[in-house]
Structure 1
């Protein structure tokens, strides 16, 4: 019996933030999802533009795809989400994990957001629960809650053969995500990674960021087996205590991401900007000495 065709994955790299976005197509229909789309943002001028996200829209249109979902793995701290632009251009429902509410509660306080902003997740079209399943054409999705980097991280497992893991894991020669954001935990991240690495060895892992060492170009795909053997942070011989020590020591040396302040206050709104003032102007806040 011949094996059923796998979903087609098209990766799009945003060079500024070194972020990978994905269009995943059902092999048996024209149905598709987009995972972690990026909105271009120039911090110096405060201007947004959609050149990068337009590539995803153009791909969807050129292939006559029916976009079912715009899936976020978490509220990113290094880029603004282009989910609203994608939705307005080619449709799709915007979804994230249900623990985004925990992140919203944390950052409503950090940014002293308007009282009308409710940290209840209703800004998104759908909040997924741990191990919830859904289908897109012949593709079977399973949601896996993978907190640690933030309380709300999730991975999307498709057909139990590929996993889109967000910032939880990087390529084996880069390691793992930081855990020093509010609500993060190195021990929790270790246990989340072990859940991912309990998937079959051949499972393909698609990462959200790659920061390649000198001599290697950007890559976006690895496997469970490769991570278990070669990950510089969490190969099979690394204990939780060893990982926590390594991760916390490394995190103490890292600067905050360049776009964390604009990104978080937009991404907890499902990519929407804060409400405009009476003159129609939109402002983002810059909290002092909060992070």
Structure 2
């Protein structure tokens, strides 16, 4: 355990469809919790949603008698829809994200030609955090670490001795996140990763996603700063910024768009809320043709 940092209790939840990890972080049973990166189940073929994954999180919160203070998003995800509003409705808490979400909203307001009432000021969220902000989650201190590069708005969360990195880093045998989304930048991601890797080596590090190479191992959610520095295939000690940028840009040029990016972004820049229903009472998500 890193000096002077209380041990955070962490319960992980894997959404198999999107290979996304969600978390409940809490100080003790009967204490205070935050929920991180909750997933709303979505079937792209039918447009149907369900709350099965979120209900598992809620069941755990209730079983442990936890009071939810925060429902945190590490960024506006491009691969799954957020279940933050459903969780807030069921157990309370404030939905929060980094203040740079405004930049992402501005980009995608234009891409999707959203309704004029949609404001690019982050007001859809209950709270916007800034780099270096700290809050208490019961007996745990949580600190915000701005970590852009994958998107302009990524935030990592250091809660007690546990670091939740969002899409900045993956497990050591997977490497790092793509940087070719609007507003992304490989040099920026490299610098963000270096900032995180300066934390004590025994800091526990929790992923937002895991993509086991060739399906040769089980999904994992936890590593450490030290393990990343030794073994991350893209960002281990000794990799220069120029080497990383060349690798990342070459690799990104071969990647297709995420399967759920079009519905996900439209929902997640609204703090997980759906667009307004149209005059027939039905909610629609747009598909921009030849735009992304």
What do residues 16-68 of structure 1 show as CA deviations (whole Å, max 9, x unaligned)? Answer: 00000000111375110100000000000000010111100111111111011
| Residue in 2 that maps onto 1:206 | 206
Q: Is the 8 A contact 1:39 1:50 kept in 2?
A: yes
| Residue in 1 that maps onto 2:265 | 264
CA distance in 1 between counterparts of 2:147 and 2:9 reads 24
Q: Is the 8 A contact 1:28 1:137 kept in 2?
A: no
Q: Is the 8 A contact 2:30 2:65 kept in 1?
A: no
Deviation of 1:5 (Å): 5.5
CA distance in 2 between counterparts of 1:245 and 1:4 reads 37
Where in structure 2 are the equivalents of 1:225-236 lying within 5 Å?
Answer: 225-236=226-237
What do residues 191-249 of structure 1 show as CA deviations (whole Å, max 9, x unaligned)? Answer: 00000000011111100000012321000000011000000000011000000000000
| Residue in 1 that maps onto 2:170 | 170
Q: Do structure 1's residue 40 and structure 2's residue 41 form an aligned pair?
A: yes
Q: Is the 8 A contact 1:39 1:49 kept in 2?
A: yes
Aligned pair count reads 289
| Residue in 1 that maps onto 2:122 | 121
CA distance in 2 between counterparts of 1:181 and 1:52 reads 27
Q: Secondary structure at the match of 1:120?
A: coil
Q: Do structure 1's residue 50 and structure 2's residue 46 form an aligned pair?
A: no
What do residues 83-109 of structure 1 show as CA deviations (whole Å, max 9, x unaligned)? Answer: 000000111100000000000000000
RMSD: 1.3
Q: Secondary structure at the match of 2:255?
A: coil
Q: Secondary structure at the match of 1:74?
A: coil
TM-score w.r.t. structure 2 length? 0.97
Runs of 4+ in 1 over 2 A off after TM superposition: none
| Residue in 2 that maps onto 1:276 | 277
Structure 1 unaligned regions, length at least 5 = none
Q: Tell me: CA distance 1:48–1:233, structure 2 relative to 1, closer, same or farther (3 Å).
A: same
Deviation of 1:166 (Å): 0.4
